[in-house]
Structure 1
Amino acid sequence: MRLFVNRIKSVFISYSKEDKALIASIKMIAGSKPYNLKPYKIATQHTSVAKSVKRGFKESNERLEYLGDAVLSVVVAEYLFKRYPFKDEGFLTEIRSRIVSRDSLNNVARTIGVPQIVRYDKKRKTPNSHKSLFGNTLEALIGAIYLDKGFKHSRSFILNKLLKPHFDIEELINTTKNYKSKLIEWTQKQSKSPSFQHLETIDKGHYKEFIMEVRIDDEPIAKGHGLSKKKAEQDAAREACLKLELEEQ
């Protein structure tokens, strides 16, 4: 009912020239016109240009980014779960993390035209100030679509406009990053010594799960899980790379 009401209201609203331009861009990116433009206007407003609206709260796209991230994660997880019915949880988690990584989302966002609609303070020149700007805005747009048109429509947008056209899943599988090598390479440059410790083996009946810990100069950095010690080491190395900011989340 709410979506129907929003659709009817959109017919009678008079839009400014700026709003019309945004509507046209949203239609090009998402494949259809918005019913309620407000969440899209917020989704394209970075915190660097947001103004306080109540008790210091800035109405930027960060809350919508949080929502869109959750919707994106669910849709991608469901897609992989159904596409690979005989793959384990570690495999599904790894491929999903590759798809929703900041690098991946930034690249897709640039391709579909997000840089043309996001508003941010271009004068900021500090390192990493806008490192994930476009990817974060894309997640915020997913949140806006979810609020405007519901889960079914946002799911269709993710699958048909983002995932299927811009990701070769089989190629992702065949080029999975070697986080252990990346971590070892970094420690060598820093004159540090990495090591992996087997912490525990959990018997789950049909299979065993291994827990490994990566240490740098004997200092515990991160833990990893896997169906083999090798996979658990890779998972621990991935977590370590994230903590050390060698890899974007």
Structure 2
Amino acid sequence: MRLIVNRVTSLFKSYSKEEKALIASIKMITGSKPFNLKPYQIATQHTSVAKALKKGFKESNERLEYLGDSVLGMVVAEYLFKRFPFKDEGFLTELRSRIVSRESLNNVARTIGVPQIVRFDRKRKTPNSHKSLYGNTLEALIGAIYLDKGFRHSRKFILKKLLLPHFDLEEIINTTKNYKSKLIEWSQKHSKSPTFEHIDTIDKGHYKEFIIEVKVDDEPIAKGHGLSKKKAEQDAAREACIILELEQ
């Protein structure tokens, strides 16, 4: 019923020039026009340009990013579960984490045109200010699609427009970057000392998830998760490389 109301409402609503441009961009990226433009407007609004509403709350894309992240993770998990029926949960978790990593989402977002629709304050530039801007916006866009058209349409967008065209699963499986070596090499070049500390182990029942924190000169930089300490160290090193802008 909600989808029908949104569809009917969109037929009679008049739009500004800016709104028409956003609608055209959304159609180009997703393959269809939005029924309700509002969630897409929020999805493309970074917190740096968001205006404060009541009680200081900013209507940025962060809440939609949270929602989209959950939808994306669910769809990718379901796809991998069916695609690899004889692989264990460790393999599936590792593969999913690489697909939905910030690096992967940033790259896909750039490819499909997200930089052309996201609004952010270009003057507020710090080393880590916008490092995940496009990937975060892509997740928010998924959240907007979910609110506008429901799970089935969101799933179709993720599979047809993101996962299948932009990810070679066999290549991902066979190619693993050694982020730990990359971080160590950078540290030695700049006379710094990286350390990896095991800070927690989460019992998942059938398997354990390890959490590792990487520090550079005793300063905490990033945390990583993995089904072994070695994999968690690689994940932490990958996050550190992104934060230190060693990786796009």
- What TM-score bracket applies, with the shorter chain setting the length? 0.7 to 0.9
In the alignment, residue 112 of structure 2 is paired with which amino acid?
Answer: I
| CA contact 1:39–1:144 (8 Å) conserved in 2 | yes
| CA contact 1:179–1:234 (8 Å) conserved in 2 | no
| Superposition TM-score, scaled by structure 1 size | 0.82
1:23 is displaced (CA, Å) by 0.5
Match of 1:241 in 2: 237
Match of 1:229 in 2: none
Other structure's SS at 1:51 match: coil
Answering whether residue 130 of structure 2 is matched by residue 135 of structure 1, we say no
In the alignment, residue 9 of structure 2 is paired with which amino acid?
Answer: K
In the alignment, residue 125 of structure 1 is paired with which amino acid?
Answer: K
| Superposition TM-score, scaled by structure 2 size | 0.82
Unaligned runs of 5+ in 1: 227-231
1:235 is displaced (CA, Å) by 1.8
Question: How many percent of aligned residue pairs carry the same amino acid?
Answer: 70
Deviations 1:16-57 (A, max 9, x none): 111111001100000000000000000000101000111100
For the residues of structure 1 that align with 2:13 and 2:117, how far apart are their CA atoms? 21
1:194 is displaced (CA, Å) by 6.4
Match of 2:92 in 1: 92
| CA contact 2:212–2:229 (8 Å) conserved in 1 | yes
| CA contact 2:187–2:194 (8 Å) conserved in 1 | yes
1:126 is displaced (CA, Å) by 1.6
| CA contact 1:45–1:61 (8 Å) conserved in 2 | yes
Answering whether residue 131 of structure 2 is matched by residue 119 of structure 1, we say no
Label 1:101 to 1:214 Cα distance change in 2 as closer, same or farther (>3 A).
closer
In the alignment, residue 236 of structure 1 is paired with which amino acid?
Answer: A
Comparing 182-191 and 75-84, the one that deviates more: 182-191
For the residues of structure 2 that align with 1:13 and 1:196, how far apart are their CA atoms? 56
Deviations 1:114-143 (A, max 9, x none): 111111111122212111111111100000
Unaligned runs of 5+ in 2: 244-248
1:239 is displaced (CA, Å) by 4.5
Answering whether residue 71 of structure 2 is matched by residue 71 of structure 1, we say yes
Label 1:37 to 1:85 Cα distance change in 2 as closer, same or farther (>3 A).
same
Label 1:123 to 1:2 Cα distance change in 2 as closer, same or farther (>3 A).
same
Label 1:196 to 1:113 Cα distance change in 2 as closer, same or farther (>3 A).
closer
Deviations 1:56-77 (A, max 9, x none): 0000000000100110011111
What is the number of residues matched between the two proteins? 236
Label 1:186 to 1:233 Cα distance change in 2 as closer, same or farther (>3 A).
farther
1:104 is displaced (CA, Å) by 0.9
For the residues of structure 2 that align with 1:215 and 1:66, how far apart are their CA atoms? 25
Answering whether residue 99 of structure 2 is matched by residue 103 of structure 1, we say no
1:233 is displaced (CA, Å) by 3.9
For the residues of structure 2 that align with 1:193 and 1:21, how far apart are their CA atoms? 47
1:193 is displaced (CA, Å) by 8.3
For the residues of structure 2 that align with 1:211 and 1:137, how far apart are their CA atoms? 28
Match of 1:31 in 2: 31
Alignment of 1:139-218 (within 5 A): 139-179=139-179, 181-182=181-182, 185=185, 192=193
For the residues of structure 1 that align with 2:83 and 2:124, how far apart are their CA atoms? 43
Larger Rg, first or second structure (1 or 2)? 1
For the residues of structure 2 that align with 1:145 and 1:183, how far apart are their CA atoms? 37
Label 1:34 to 1:211 Cα distance change in 2 as closer, same or farther (>3 A).
closer
For the residues of structure 2 that align with 1:246 and 1:130, how far apart are their CA atoms? 15
For the residues of structure 1 that align with 2:93 and 2:151, how far apart are their CA atoms? 22
Backbone CA RMSD of aligned residues: 3.2
1:209 is displaced (CA, Å) by 7.2
Other structure's SS at 1:23 match: helix
